[in-house]
A and B are shown apart, each in its own frame.
Chain A
Amino acid sequence: KAGVTQTPRYLIKTRGQQVTLSCSPISGHRSVSWYQQTPGQGLQFLFEYFSETQRNKGNFPGRFSGRQFSNSRSEMNVSTLELGDSALYLCASIRDSLLTDTQYFGPGTRLTVL
């Protein structure tokens, strides 16, 4: 079974630009979560989507947004990039049964903002 895939793996942008990151979950998994990892703040939860609906959101500004498509693939968008947005963005895929399932992570997208 293929794992979680994220594209692109590396991205370089300049301040003020916007960026879109993509995540394809494990086949059959219906929920996708996004996390930001920085040296200073560590791993922080961004948001979680299930059936094209955002179910949970972390404490990030409105510049960070996401969506999920009918095939469970998800994208996250960051507008008006700031230097502090440089981070590893990780996507996690969850099967979503009645009980909490384990989240399986993709390799991440490393975003550098210049």
Chain B
Amino acid sequence: AQKVTQAQTEISVVEKEDVTLDCVYETRDTTYYLFWYKQPPSGELVFLIRRNSFDEQNEISGRYSWNFQKSTSSFNFTITASQVVDSAVYFCALSGLNDYKLSFGAGTTVTVRA
């Protein structure tokens, strides 16, 4: 069984602060994918990033960066210099290599205040 845990329920920051979202996962699969999705108030889930379990290189994409550590089963996500438009619920998700069933965490609500 797969399980994703997002311990932070809500995070509130002032604009331009950095925000780091924690994600811990459990899976018996040796290969898998990890995702971060954003859900603004409109409801649509917006894809942000995807990571393969066999590639632990951490990257930066614009204001987004992520820290994948297989040894601790963690896949943390950081928004640098947050903006009001970043206010949303952020979900961490996990799927098998050839399995389109996504297991989601409970989500973290991020509020960025001007």
Contacts and interface: CB of A to CB of B under 8 A. Distances in A.
Interface of A: 31, 33, 35, 42-45, 48, 55-56, 58, 88, 90, 92, 94, 99-100, 102-108, 110
Contact of B43 (A33, A44, A88): A88
Given A42-B107, A56-B100, 11 more contacts: A33-B100, A42-B104, A43-B107, A48-B101, A90-B45, A92-B45, A94-B100, A99-B98, A100-B96, A100-B97, A106-B44
B33 interface: yes
B108 to A, nearest CB: 12
B81 interface: no
Interface string B91-114: 100011111111111110000000
B35 interface: yes
B49 to A, nearest CB: 9
B50 interface: yes
Contacts of B35: 102
A51 B104 CA distance: 25
B42 interface: yes
Most chain B CB within a 10 A radius of its CB, from A48, A56, A102, A107? A102
Contacts of B99: 56, 100
Nearest to B103: A45
A110 B99 CA distance: 26
Contacts of B96: 100
